[in-house]
Structure formats: C-alpha cells, structure tokens
C-alpha cells in the first residue's frame, strides 16, 4: 500500500503551559510531568473543517483529485459540532469527493490508526488503481473538556490530519506501508467508565469530561500492576507482529527511528521508551512537545513528520506506535521510497 502524502493542519491559537500554571488551570508539577510547552487551540474552526483543510493539503501534494477517492474514513473522539450527524459525509462533500464512500470511525485515541487499518483492508479487496483518504480531527472545547486536566498523562491539542493512500503503490509514493498491526485488551474498558451508570445524555453524570475520575475509580478496585503489565505486553506484541509482517528484524539497520504517541513525557519515559528501547536499538521520536496529544490524530501526525522532517533516506524504515482507550494498540511500519 502506498502512502502518497500526509498532512497535519494546526490552528494558530496556542495555550501555553506557563499561562495555564499562572492562571491556576494547571498544577506546576503536572506541567513538568507532561513536558508540553503549549497546545494548539482552534478558536473559530470546527473539527470537521480542520479535517477538510488537512485533506485539501494532502490532495494538493499529490496528482490525485477528490473525485478519484473511492473511500474516505474519518476518525474522531470528541464532539464534532452536530448531533445525529455524519462528519465524514460532510468532509467528502466539502472536498467534492462525491464518488467516495464516507465512513466514520470511533475508537477514542486509536481512531486514526483504526481508520487507516479499515481503509487498507477495504482497498486491498478492490482491483485497479484506487485512492483512499483517512482524516482525523478533534477540537477540545471548554467547558465540556479541559485540555490540561481532563486526563492523566496527556494534554489535548486541536488538529486535523489527513493521509492519502494508493492501492497498488506507485514508485512516486512517498512512503510504502509495509505493515500495520493492532491488538486489544477490552477487559480494560472500565478505566474510562469507572462505576458511572449509563447516562441518558452526554455529560449527564459529570459536566466535564473527567477521565481522571474514572481512572481513579478503576485503579482503586484493580490496582495499577495489571494495567502496566498489559500495556507493556501489548506494546511488545504489536511491535513484534508489525515487524514480522513487514519481514523486518528488530535489529535491521534500515530501521531509523520509532515514533511515539504524543503523550506526556512522564508516561513515555515510564511506560513506552523502556519497552521499545529493549527491542529496538534506534532513537525514539517524541514530536508532541509543541502539540500535545492530538486525540485521534497522533499516528497520522507522525506520518506527516516522518515525511516532512526528511528523517528517512530511500530504503530506510520508521516504526510508528499508537494506543487508545478500550484499550487498543497499533504499530505501523513504513519505508521511504524517495526524498
């Protein structure tokens, strides 16, 4: 599968950690643990419109046009602006992708990776040259969501992303998707539910999305050891399987780097980097310092940075990892085909 292009659209607004601490919206200790200097904030652009802007950019970097798209998968984790409404159909219409099948994907922070996997699976079943577009967008707006305090170990930035795929791959494609593997541990779903009853409407139980509260409830009952073990085991599992599917050994000198999810520095240093470093003798790329966690968009943003940071020479490989509530983990292996 060819990755023709990837785009990351960030709004101009910024909420700095220094301002959040000074205004009492963030504890200084938590700011140090997160390590994010600032978060992008969309003041007047909806989440679906951020996806449209990223998609337009991805298409503009290719020879494809919107009418060539056979599939458009859009992933999100937070409110998209309307009730009982389909954001992917809006995005397709705004682009002029009227021949595309629009599909929405909800898998919390792993949604973008799940949408990519869905697109790859769908495209592999069809013949002829086909294009698919995978978009993500989230806008974490108060008072329903506190981008600094709604979760442990992550602060949330607004962004839209887009990845343009081609099947079969062409020599002109920037990256070759060598493999993509996901695995889940659904027994952990309660971490984002706690003991809350099933509500009648959004935020009926709590006026603000508060993942800290549900996680505290879950961990008081189950402890932290099981989650930490499962998390580390799953990181190893998806990494090993993705490398195996790609026909690449962990010590292959073509592997240039591993791209981390855009979580807080303390979480990455405790739960991700030690596990990955024990298996992959390569640098670990943490590119979330100035964006924070982009909801469903971390993996796509990583693909964008691999491409536009020119970190790979032709034939070199990058490994990208992601995870999301539920829980699900994903690993992608990509190879550079050209500069």
Query: What does the pLDDT look like over 169-186, one tens digit per residue?
Result: 998 999 999 999 999 999
119-137: pLDDT as tens digits: 999 998 877 769 999 999 9
Average pLDDT (187-198) is: 94
pLDDT score of 310: 85
Peptide bond into 327 cis (omega under 30): yes
Average pLDDT (285-308) is: 97
As a whole number of angstroms, the longest Cα–Cα distance in the chain is 57
**Would you state the structure tokens that stand for residue 162, as one six-digit string?**
């887009």
Percent of the chain clearing pLDDT 70 (strictly above): 99
What's the mean per-residue pLDDT of the chain?
96
Average pLDDT (320-333) is: 97
- Residue 262's pLDDT band, with cuts at 50, 70 and 90, is very high
The burial class, CB within 10 Å (0-12 / 13-18 / 19+), for 54 is buried
What kind and span of H or E run contains 2?
Answer: strand 2-9
pLDDT score of 125: 84
Helix (H, G, I), strand (E, B) or coil at 196: coil
pLDDT score of 318: 98
- Residue 221's pLDDT band, with cuts at 50, 70 and 90, is very high
Radius of gyration of the chain (CA): 19
The owner of tokens 């991805």 is: 58
- Residue 338's pLDDT band, with cuts at 50, 70 and 90, is low
pLDDT score of 339: 53
Tell me the DSSP string of 73-117. EEE-SS--SSSS--HHHHHHHHHT-TTSEEEEE-BTBTHHHHHHH
Average pLDDT (186-192) is: 96
CA 244 – CA 328 distance, rounded (Å): 19
The burial class, CB within 10 Å (0-12 / 13-18 / 19+), for 169 is middle
């Amino acid at each position: 599968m060819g990755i023709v292009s990837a785009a990351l659209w960030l709004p101009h607004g910024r909420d700095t950690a220094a301002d959040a601490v000074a205004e009492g919206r963030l504890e200084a200790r938590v700011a140090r643990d997160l390590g994010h200097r600032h978060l992008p904030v969309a003041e007047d652009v909806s989440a679906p419109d951020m996806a449209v802007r990223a998609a337009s950019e991805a298409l503009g970097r290719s020879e494809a046009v919107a009418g060539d798209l056979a599939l458009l998968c859009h992933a999100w984790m937070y409110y998209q602006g309307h009730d009982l409404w389909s954001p992917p159909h809006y995005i397709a219409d705004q682009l002029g992708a009227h021949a595309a099948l629009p599909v929405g994907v909800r898998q919390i922070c792993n949604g973008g990776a799940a949408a990519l996997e869905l697109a790859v699976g769908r495209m592999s079943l069809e013949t002829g040259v086909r294009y698919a577009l995978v978009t993500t967008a989230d806008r974490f707006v108060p008072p329903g969501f506190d981008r600094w305090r709604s979760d442990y170990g992550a602060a949330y930035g607004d962004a839209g992303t887009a990845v343009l795929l081609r099947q079969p791959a062409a020599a002109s494609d920037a990256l070759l998707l060598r493999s993509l593997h996901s695995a889940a541990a659904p027994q952990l779903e309660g971490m984002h539910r706690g003991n809350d009853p099933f509500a009648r409407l959004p935020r009926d139980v709590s006026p603000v999305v508060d993942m800290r509260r549900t996680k505290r409830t879950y961990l008081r009952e189950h402890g932290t050891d099981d989650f930490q073990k499962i998390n580390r085991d799953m990181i190893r599992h998806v990494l090993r399987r993705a490398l195996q599917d790609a026909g690449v050994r962990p010590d292959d000198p073509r592997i240039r780097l591993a791209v981390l999810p855009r979580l807080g520095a303390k979480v990455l240093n405790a739960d991700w980097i030690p596990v990955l470093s024990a298996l992959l003798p390569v640098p670990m790329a943490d590119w979330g310092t100035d964006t924070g966690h982009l909801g469903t968009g971390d993996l796509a943003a990583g693909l964008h940075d691999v491409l536009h940071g020119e970190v790979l020479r032709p034939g070199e490989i990058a490994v990208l990892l992601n995870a999301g509530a539920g829980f699900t983990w994903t690993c992608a292996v990509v190879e550079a085909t050209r500069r």
